[in-house]
Amino acid sequence: MSLKFRIALSLLAGMSLAPAAAMADNATPTVSVSPFYQDVMQMKPEGKLGQIIKKEQVATPIAGAQAWRIAYISSDLNDVPTISTGVVVAPVGEAPSGGRPIISWSHGTTGNAQNCGPSQVENPAQSLNQYFLVNGNESTDYGLPSLDEFIKDGYVVVGTDYQGLGGGGRHQYAVAKTNGRDAINAARAAGSMAETGAGKKTIMIGWSQGAGSTIGASQADYVAKQGTAYDGLEILGFVAMAVPDFAMYAPATMDETGATKMVSDFATAWSVDSFAFAHMSMNMWGTQAGFPDKLKLSDIFTDEGANVLDEIYSNKCVHTATDTINFNFGQNYKSMLRPQPQNAMAWAEAILKGTLDSTVKPIAPVMIIYGNKDTTLPPIMGEFYQKKICALGGNVTRIQLPGDQNHFTTPPESVPFYMPWIKDRLAGKPTPDGCTAN
């Protein structure tokens, strides 16, 4: 079945194939969201970084805890103001002297549409719940890792949805530096709430897309900004489970030939099956959202393919989006790719600008945790990052989980490793040199 025929069938089924260019101005598509997010999507991103512009208290099953949905001001990697949403959980009662430590969680892939934010589930203030595990009870990942223990230990926990997942605008999926800024501003937002009793000590933690966000938050200049809703965050460590580092695709020479090879290799490496292709094309969609004046989806995909993907990702979360690609294209999903990318130099530069910065030493120690069977984000990515940062004098520890662990078993299997590490950082204990240990 030809691509044109499939598109015709989609039209007959009522699927509006609006041109990709129709959303090039980062307009917000119409999807079904609850009144909280409907209100937020009508707001303008005006205010201090981390300033809460809307919140509502929500229930939580965590003993001794209270929780809220929030919407707050953030900005992307180009300093364009944005609105992000998320969830905050804090212990009840009087805070200790100096305030409670903040744990800022960055979630894994949920999708690109406005209704894909984890805080939008009916009861978001719960321990991390992964849809594909036996105990999963939602069609998406939601919740916060080790929440019971973090609350018991007296920490404030905040999880960002990232911009574009309930706050309006187009989500910059896998643009680590934008996602990282959302995580920093989420910590500022949680700290600004008198109800949380938060202090300044902060730990960043994330998985998959969120691992990129976590390390993307590790540069000093943005953390040190003054005039925010909560100045002076003291970030003491970064825990990254299954790291995505696309800098490993960078060519030796950034010329037109090198850039074309980089973008082609990136697209090919992430098109081994429709699941990987969905993540790759979501990444391209998110990168274009970060650089709307320089990039077009139709640089990478055929005109028709760009239209289809834009329609899918503007309206569907990741698993439904993947199912849609499977249903409509089967094994022919690569037909949406151009044989040769166009505007390759701009795309290569944008991908590298958005990914982890291995030319700057992080402001605090980094712990990378990975499974040996992770084929979604291969361990070589974390190894590449560690070598680059260690050469700069940074401190990056990599831990391979015991047994055969894949991408999706990484979060629960990582708990015994990151919990004592986090407690040691918050207690001010010296950090072992992870660079000499590997």
* Residue 302 backbone zone (phi > 0: left; psi -120 to 50: alpha; other: beta): beta
The reported pLDDT for the residue numbered 15 is 36
The reported pLDDT for the residue numbered 13 is 37
Distance in angstroms (rounded) separating the CA atoms of residues 380 and 389: 14
Terminal Cα distance for the chain, rounded: 51
Token look-up 């892939």 returns 109
Instruction: Return the H-helix or E-strand segment holding 65.
Output: strand 65-75
Exposure b/e, 289-325, CB count within 10 A at least 16 = b? bbbeeebbbbbbbbebbbbbbbbbbbbbbbbbbbebb
Q: For residue 2, which amino acid is it?
A: S
| Residues 275, 416, 399: CA angle, nearest 5 degrees | 65
CB atoms closer than 10 angstroms to residue 331: 9
The reported pLDDT for the residue numbered 438 is 56
Token look-up 């569907």 returns 316
The reported pLDDT for the residue numbered 139 is 81
Distance in angstroms (rounded) separating the CA atoms of residues 338 and 23: 21
CB-based contact 287:295 (threshold 8 Å): yes
Segments of the chain with pLDDT less than 50: 1-28
Distance in angstroms (rounded) separating the CA atoms of residues 240 and 204: 8
Dig out the tokens for 108 from the structure: 């894994």
Q: Could you say which DSSP state residue 144 is in?
A: B
Dig out the tokens for 1 from the structure: 């079945």
Nearest to 172 by CA among 182, 157, 159: 182
Distance in angstroms (rounded) separating the CA atoms of residues 197 and 93: 9
The reported pLDDT for the residue numbered 9 is 37
CA atoms within 13 A on the CB side of 133: 15
Distance in angstroms (rounded) separating the CA atoms of residues 411 and 35: 32
pLDDT digits (tens, 9 = 90+) for 73-130: 999 999 999 999 999 999 999 999 999 999 999 999 999 999 999 999 999 999 999 8
The reported pLDDT for the residue numbered 4 is 40
* Residue 93 backbone zone (phi > 0: left; psi -120 to 50: alpha; other: beta): left
β-strands 81-91, 100-106 pairing: unpaired
CB-based contact 78:290 (threshold 8 Å): yes
